[in-house]
Amino acid sequence: MTRLMKHRLFWPVFSLLALIVINTIARPQFIKITMRDGEFYGALIDILRNCAPLMLVALGMTLVIATRGIDLSVGAVMAVSGAVTLTIIDGSSSPGSTSTVLVAILAGIGVSLVLGLWNGFLVAVLDIQPIIATLVLMLAGRGVALLITDGFITTVNSEPLNFVATGYLFALPFALFIWLAAAAAIAIVERRTALGVLTEAVGINPEASRLAGVRSRGIILGAYVASGTLAGIAGIIYSSNIRAADANAAGDLIELYAILAVVLGGTSLMGGKFTIAGTVIGVLIIQTLDSTILFLGVSSAQSPVFFAIVVVIVVLIQSPRVHQWGRALTGGFRTRPGTEVRNDAEVTA
């Protein structure tokens, strides 16, 4: 049991399960999943579907944070990719054809890849602080998106596009498969090759890893490119869900929620050790919390208060000073002083 509690994912998983149990007690239909026309429906399925944009953004953010960076521009990138994709579909002669939608989606993802490359260039090559380097695009990006859509909210009605966010595949939402694929791809690339270890090395000590022969520049650049690309896909899912490109509302505050999800999952903002599974659970916690708050009848505008409380609790749990207090409290019961000094360097698999 104690070994289980020491596991880095113990608290995130525990919080998620606790949230689900509380919800189920408050409203038994929460846990219920029904089958209709060969498709699953239910509150849990909704959570798995609606979390897709945040999930993609948070996965990219995890990689960036692992390199000791931060990407504030993800919301703006979402707005741009949504604007590009929907403007292309809107302007084409056959908005309903699959090939048009595919081309438009690829264009949207391509543009966000370039935006990610731009962020990476500023951080890795020009050596500018990540917060401020990505702030540039955060400010300018929404302006660009507004210019693309001419300041209007572009609405389109296109079957293949709607499918991205609301369609079903094998009785489950298609959006679920998108984020599962992204999470699996990142996990395989980072953990089955040396890339993950190198990323952590860059995050823990960029100078030392450079001296050790790690090409930190390319790794940092790659992290921002991944973050931009994933944000671009998230933007397309978001636009597909509301069937419109809204340059102001798309991805509003998502950078903050994504950072919160990454931290909730147990990745430190100081860079270095990161966990993809933790981020996935962090996003699910946020989405479940969101659904809980909605159920409690709190106006969605007031929900930030809850998130503020969650952020404070989470950062306090991670804080060294609180650990000290905890040790001082439990120290009274322990007789062996040696157990108190624990090596934090766990093997990351």
Can you name the residues that pair with 197 across neighbouring β-strands? none
| Interaction between residue 114 and another protein (CB under 8 A) | no
* Torsion 14-165-307-291 (CA) sign: negative
Element (H, E) at 161: helix 159-166
| Interaction between residue 311 and another protein (CB under 8 A) | yes
Can you name the residues that pair with 175 across neighbouring β-strands? none
Which residue in this structure is represented by tokens 């000590």? 205
| Interaction between residue 132 and another protein (CB under 8 A) | yes
| Interaction between residue 328 and another protein (CB under 8 A) | no
Tokens at 307, concatenated: 């998130």
Nearer Cβ to another protein (208/317):
317
Shortest spacing between CB 129 and another protein, in angstroms:
6
Query: Could you give the CA distance from residue 88 to residue 161 in angstroms, rounded to a whole number?
Result: 12
The CA-CA-CA angle for residues 278, 303, 65, to 5°, reads 30
Query: Could you say which of 9, 13, 135, 277 contacts another protein (CB under 8 A)?
Result: 135
Query: Could you say which of 178, 230, 237, 259 contacts another protein (CB under 8 A)?
Result: 259
Query: Could you say which of 143, 218, 326, 331 contacts another protein (CB under 8 A)?
Result: 143
231 in Cβ contact with 56 (< 8 Å): yes
What are the angstrom distances between the C-alpha of 264 and each of 82, 279, 281, 343?
28, 7, 8, 22
Draw the binding track, 62-101, toward another protein (x: CB under 8 A; -: no contact).
--------x-------------------------------
Number of chain residues interacting with another protein (CB under 8 A) = 47
Q: What residues numbered 196-255 form the site for another protein, per CB under 8 A?
A: 247
Nearer Cβ to another protein (193/319):
319
Shortest spacing between CB 123 and another protein, in angstroms:
11
Shortest spacing between CB 252 and another protein, in angstroms:
8
Query: Could you say which of 31, 114, 128, 277 contacts another protein (CB under 8 A)?
Result: 128
Tokens at 175, concatenated: 């959006």
Q: Which residues contact 334 (CB under 8 A, 6 or more apart)?
A: 340
Tokens at 156, concatenated: 């389109």
Query: Could you give the CA distance from residue 175 to residue 262 in angstroms, rounded to a whole number?
Result: 20
Query: Could you say which of 127, 159, 340, 346 contacts another protein (CB under 8 A)?
Result: 127
Give the binding site for another protein (CB under 8 A): 70, 122, 126-129, 131-133, 135-144, 146-147, 151, 247, 256, 259-260, 263, 269-270, 299, 301-309, 311-312, 315-316, 319-322
